[in-house]
């Protein structure tokens, strides 16, 4: 079973997400929270695999909560947002989120996303995430990431990840086996101290390996 905590300041939405998640045979909601501070507490008490995290909430917002959860818990955070909150997405990914979804995502896709994130992969939509990260990588607040110890081949893999390519697409692009690509990704995660694929995309932009545009 994949344990999920739902965080949203609107009770109706929390209830809807609970019903949806609990309808899947392999998923279950083990806790709810109405703000970021409560979310951190509930996550520590329940040790879920995935946290569905709203961004805008009273008191401690979703970004601050994501940062604290990512720093102290193994739970992976999936941000729920809307198009008018685009400016928060990059900050959320930097804070440690494993990906994001729009709140109007079809139910089946939301359930699939929870499984993807629980499995350790970052949830990145090439059509949306690349544009967002490219836009916000221009901000002066971004940190400087060094690719110390990252080989030329690993940099090639990292650049393709930042473009939103899947493992299969990377194998075709670089003429490598799936196993070799997975090995390179594992080494990148270790060398860059990244939690998942989403964090590798951030590192690719912040290191200057991939330029905005």
Tens-digit pLDDT profile for residues 8-31: 999 999 999 999 999 999 999 999
The pLDDT value given to residue 25: 96
Top-confidence residue, 85 or 51:
51
Q: CA of 152: how far to CAs of 1, 14, 111, in Å?
A: 39, 45, 37
Closest CA to 139 of 87, 96, 97, 99: 87
The pLDDT value given to residue 44: 95
Top-confidence residue, 61 or 82:
61
pLDDT in tens, 118-161: 887 666 655 555 556 656 556 655 566 788 899 999 999 999 98
> Is pTM beyond 0.85 here?
no
The C-alpha atoms of residue 209 and residue 206 are separated, in whole angstroms, by 8
The alpha carbon dihedral of 79, 80, 85, 86 has a sign of: positive
The pLDDT value given to residue 139: 61
Give the chain's mean pLDDT. 85
Q: Is the pLDDT of residue 68 over 90?
A: yes
The C-alpha atoms of residue 193 and residue 36 are separated, in whole angstroms, by 25
Q: In which band, very low, low, confident or very high, does the pLDDT at 103 lie, cut at 50, 70 and 90?
A: confident
Length of the chain: 213
Q: Are 69 and 98 in contact (CB under 8 A)?
A: no
């Amino acid at each position: 079973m994949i344990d999920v905590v739902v965080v949203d300041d609107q009770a109706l939405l929390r209830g809807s997400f609970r019903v949806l998640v609990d309808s899947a045979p392999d998923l279950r909601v083990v806790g709810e929270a109405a703000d970021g501070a409560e979310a951190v507490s509930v996550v520590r008490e329940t040790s879920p695999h995935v946290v569905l995290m709203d961004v805008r909430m009273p008191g401690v917002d979703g970004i601050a909560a994501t940062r604290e959860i990512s720093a102290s818990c193994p739970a992976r955070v999936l941000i729920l947002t809307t198009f008018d909150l685009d400016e928060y997405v990059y900050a959320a990914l930097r804070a440690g989120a494993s990906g994001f979804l729009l709140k109007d995502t079809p139910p089946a896709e939301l359930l699939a996303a929870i499984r993807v994130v629980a499995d350790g992969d970052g949830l990145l939509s090439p059509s949306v995430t690349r544009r967002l990260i490219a836009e916000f990588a221009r901000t002066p607040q971004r940190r400087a990431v060094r690719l110390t110890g990252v080989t030329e081949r690993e940099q090639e893999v990292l650049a393709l990840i930042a473009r939103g390519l899947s493992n299969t697409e990377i194998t075709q692009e670089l003429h490598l086996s799936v196993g070799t690509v997975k090995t390179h990704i594992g080494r990148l995660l270790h060398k860059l101290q990244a939690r998942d694929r989403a964090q590798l995309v951030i590192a690719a932009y912040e290191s200057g390996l991939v330029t905005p545009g």
